[in-house]
């Protein structure tokens, strides 16, 4: 999604571009730690459109930051340039944030390096206390954080509330887990020796996160990293930096020391320079990334130069298989969380819905009925279930997938195109007679489109499901225990959901196989990603 949009139009500002709301080169704001809130700018930004401030309901407006956070200071870009952040529901610009580059990223890394000795020297219990306070602060400000998230990302407010709770749960859970980051004592084969294993922090780490879960993808990385005693420089997605900065503000309030957690903001055009610094700077010892497979591969290649650890959560192409003996109501309900949630913009969205022929007519009827009842609206509207897509590029991708499927013979059972609300809103769509070779079966659609592929046998379903370079998540529905084991074991995916569409929890290992990634986030498996194992032997005893 490498575009900067302004008021609904794609624009590609150069590095010297300033949309008129942020500091300009030479202004008094440059490189000065700032305590301003966005309030005045919001008034300015919305006035010409005469549209109401979508963030007017915030109780604590200091959560709305318009500066990056380096070494405990709120800073503008060195050259004072900014980039616009839009509300995808209206296309209205809601903020202007600093366009940082390599130099500022380098300073953030230095700050993280300076903070490392003090943070890692704290006891796990002390770090856990800070992280618990941080999680509590997120919960206390859940309404404000949810509003910021919905306004910059577009998802329904109920989903944002759930995301904020999910995001806070990582801080709480990994803080607790830090206390159980045990080492080992291994029986020695050599007399007079002891063999000890220590778990130590990796050091300075970097995180790069996407726009679809602007809060949870951040804490899912920084929580295990910080809990284990690392420090972090984070680059949030250009579409959703406000959530990252609000989390940062709460980190500061919770007592996270300066330099332990830093946020570097930038436009899409700045991502390569920021990423290059993060992946080439020898101080950085690990990079955690969630995003496209293409960028993940690039980062991995770059990290090879200095042999950094990587944890990569990349694209998916989730199969969702319904066998003849399935509970069809449960299967339709499950699509609520793994097809319609976030307007289908999640990496674990059901992307290929495989339905056995014996139930396809009944399943289609129930799904169509359900889809027609979904409320499409701006995320802050009461009862909204499907919000806008994130940007024009995302919208165009979904409409291309739709056109390709329809050209190829798929039939529209409901929906099928733009919603009457216009802008970035799409109708929830159900397509039948989809085939495995259509573009929507081969690539992540990332939209509210359910394409149904018929199948006859279990072998055929497994073959289609595994016929992809991706392997993040797979779902299937059956009441038969033997089928459950056989299919569960045969599916090539890091996550498998049986009779459910909901798999996300902080206690379970989230991650993919094949080109869907490396490493796991969440659970005790994840904290292992963020530590080094040191073999320490004592001789001459």
CB of 130 closer than 8 Å to CB of 255: yes
Rank residues 224 and 315 by Cβ distance to ligand ADP and give the closer one. Answer: 315
Identify which of residues 292 and 499 has a Cβ nearer to ligand ADP in the complex: 292
Select from 97, 151, 248, 295 the one that contacts ligand ADP (CB under 6 A). Answer: 295
Q: Tell me whether residue 145 or residue 237 sits nearer to ligand ADP (CB atom).
A: 237
Choose which of 24, 37, 292, 435 interacts with ligand ADP (CB under 6 A): 292
Residue 447 touching ligand ADP (CB under 6 A):
no
How far apart CA 112 and CA 424 sit, in angstroms, is: 39
Binders of ligand ADP among 269-288, rule CB under 6 A?
Answer: 271-272, 275
Site of tokens 């020695």? 188
Residue selected from 38, 208, 438, 526 as contacting ligand ADP according to rule CB under 6 A: 208
Taking the mean position of all CA atoms in its chain, how far away is CA 112?
A: 23
Question: Which pair of structure tokens corresponds to residue 97?
Answer: 């944030």
Query: Which helix or strand (DSSP H or E) is residue 405 part of?
Result: helix 392-407
Binder to ligand ADP among 2, 280, 399, 483 (CB under 6 A)? 2
Token pair recorded at residue 488: 């569960």
Asked if residue 175 lies in contact with residue 282, where contact means CB atoms within 8 angstroms, the answer is: no
Neighbours of 505 (CB within 10 A): 12
Minimum distance from CB of 65 to ligand ADP (Å)? Answer: 18
Tell me how crowded residue 484 is: count the other CB atoms within 10 A of its CB: 17
**Contact present, 286 and 306 (Cβ < 8 Å):** no
Q: Does residue 540 come out as left (phi exceeding 0), alpha (psi in the -120 to 50 range) or beta?
A: left
Nearer to ligand ADP, 18 or 265 (CB): 265
Q: Kindly state the smallest distance separating residue 427's Cβ from ligand ADP, in Å.
A: 22
Q: Rounded distance, CA 499 to CA 330, Å?
A: 7
Minimal distance, residue 302 CB to ligand ADP, in Å: 8
Q: Where are the beta strands (DSSP E) in 71-151?
A: 73-75, 82-87, 92-98
- Give the active site residues: 313, 347
CB of 298 to ligand ADP, least distance (A): 6
Q: Are the C-beta atoms of residues 260 and 248 closer than 8 Å to each other?
A: no
In this chain, which of 1, 77, 128, 178 binds ligand ADP, going by CB under 6 A? 1
Measured from the CB atom, the residue of 229 and 316 that comes closer to ligand ADP is: 316
The set of residues, in sequence order, having a beta carbon less than 8 Å from that of 28 and lying 6+ positions away, is none
Q: Write the interaction track for ligand ADP spanning residues 210-249; mark x where CB under 6 A is met and - where it is not.
A: x------------------------x-xx-----------
CB 89 within 8 A of CB 154: yes
Report, in Å, the least distance between residue 263 CB and ligand ADP: 12
Q: How far apart are CA 356 and CA 433, in angstroms?
A: 12
Judged by beta carbon, residue 218 or residue 354, the one nearer ligand ADP is: 218
Q: Is 310 in the site for ligand ADP (CB under 6 A)?
A: no
Coil vs helix vs strand at 75? strand
Minimum CB separation of residue 312 from ligand ADP in Å reads 10
Q: Which residue is nearest to ligand ADP (CB)?
A: 275
Taking the complex as a whole, the smallest distance from the CB of residue 31 to ligand ADP amounts, in Å, to: 23
State the nearest-atom distance from the C-beta of 270 to ligand ADP, in Å. 8
Residue (127 or 221) nearer to ligand ADP, CB: 221
CA–CA gap between residue 117 and residue 431 (Å, rounded): 56
Q: Should residue 291 be labelled a site residue for ligand ADP when binding is judged by CB under 6 A?
A: yes
Q: State whether residue 432 is helix, strand or coil.
A: strand
Report the C-alpha gap between 259 and 94 in whole angstroms. Answer: 28
Residues with Cβ < 8 Å from 489, sequence gap 6 or more? Answer: none
Residues 6 or more apart whose CB falls under 8 angstroms from that of 120 comprise 200, 201, 229, 230
- Considering only 44, 158, 197, 298, the residue that binds ligand ADP (CB under 6 A) is 298
Is the Cβ of residue 275 or residue 288 nearer to ligand ADP in the bound state?
A: 275
Site residues (CB under 6 A) for ligand ADP? 1-2, 208-210, 235, 237-238, 271-272, 275, 291-292, 295, 298
């Amino acid at each position: 999604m490498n575009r900067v949009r302004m008021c609904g139009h794609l624009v590609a500002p150069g590095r010297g571009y300033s949309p008129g709301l942020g500091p300009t080169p030479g202004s008094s704001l440059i490189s000065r730690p700032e305590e301003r809130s966005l309030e005045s700018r919001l008034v300015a930004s919305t006035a010409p459109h005469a549209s109401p401030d979508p963030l007017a309901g915030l109780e604590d407006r200091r959560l709305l930051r318009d500066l990056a956070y380096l070494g405990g200071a709120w800073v503008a870009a060195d050259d004072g340039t900014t980039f616009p952040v839009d509300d995808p529901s209206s296309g209205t610009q809601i903020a202007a944030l600093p366009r940082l580059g390599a130099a500022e990223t380098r300073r953030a890394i230095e700050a993280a390096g300076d903070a490392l000795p003090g943070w890692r020297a704290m006891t796990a219990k002390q770090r856990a206390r800070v992280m618990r306070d941080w999680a509590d602060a997120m919960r206390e400000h859940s309404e404000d954080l949810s509003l910021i998230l919905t306004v910059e990302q577009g998802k329904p407010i109920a989903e944002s509330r759930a995301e904020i709770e999910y995001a806070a749960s990582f801080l709480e859970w990994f803080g607790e887990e830090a206390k159980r980051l045990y080492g080992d004592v291994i029986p020695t084969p050599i007399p007079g020796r002891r063999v000890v294993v220590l778990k130590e922090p990796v050091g300075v780490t970097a995180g790069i996160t996407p726009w679809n879960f602007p809060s949870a993808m951040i804490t899912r990385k920084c929580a295990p990293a910080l809990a284990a005693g690392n420090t972090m420089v984070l680059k949030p997605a250009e579409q959703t930096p406000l959530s990252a900065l609000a989390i940062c503000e709460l980190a500061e309030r919770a007592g996270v020391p300066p330099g332990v957690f830093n946020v570097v903001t930038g436009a899409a055009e700045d991502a390569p320079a920021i990423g290059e610094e993060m992946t080439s700077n020898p101080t950085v010892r690990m990079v955690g990334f969630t995003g496209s497979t293409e960028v993940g591969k690039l980062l991995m290649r770059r990290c090879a130069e200095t042999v950094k650890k990587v944890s990569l959560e990349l694209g998916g192409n989730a199969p969702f298989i319904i066998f003849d003996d399935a509970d069809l109501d449960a299967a339709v309900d499950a699509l609520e969380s793994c097809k319609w949630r976030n307007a289908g913009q999640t990496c674990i969205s059901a992307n290929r819905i495989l339905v056995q022929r014996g139930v396809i007519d009944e399943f289609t009827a129930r799904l169509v009925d359900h889809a027609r009842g979904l409320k499409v609206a701006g995320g802050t509207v009461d009862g909204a279930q499907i919000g806008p897509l994130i940007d024009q590029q995302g919208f165009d991708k979904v409409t291309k997938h739709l056109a390709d499927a329809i050209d190829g013979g798929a039939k529209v059972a409901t929906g099928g195109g733009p919603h009457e609300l216009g802008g970035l809103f799409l109708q929830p769509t159900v397509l039948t007679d989809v085939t495995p070779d259509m573009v929507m079966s081969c690539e992540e659609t990332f939209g509210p489109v359910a394409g149904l592929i018929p199948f006859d046998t279990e072998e055929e379903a497994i073959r289609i499901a595994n016929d992809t370079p991706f392997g993040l998540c797979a779902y299937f529905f059956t009441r038969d225990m033997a089928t459950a084991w056989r299919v569960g074991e045969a599916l090539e995916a890091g996550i498998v959901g049986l009779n459910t569409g909901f798999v996300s929890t902080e206690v379970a290992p989230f991650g993919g196989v094949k080109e869907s990634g490396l490493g796991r986030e969440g659970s005790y498996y994840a904290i292992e990603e963020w530590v080094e194992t040191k073999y320490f032997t004592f001789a001459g005893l």
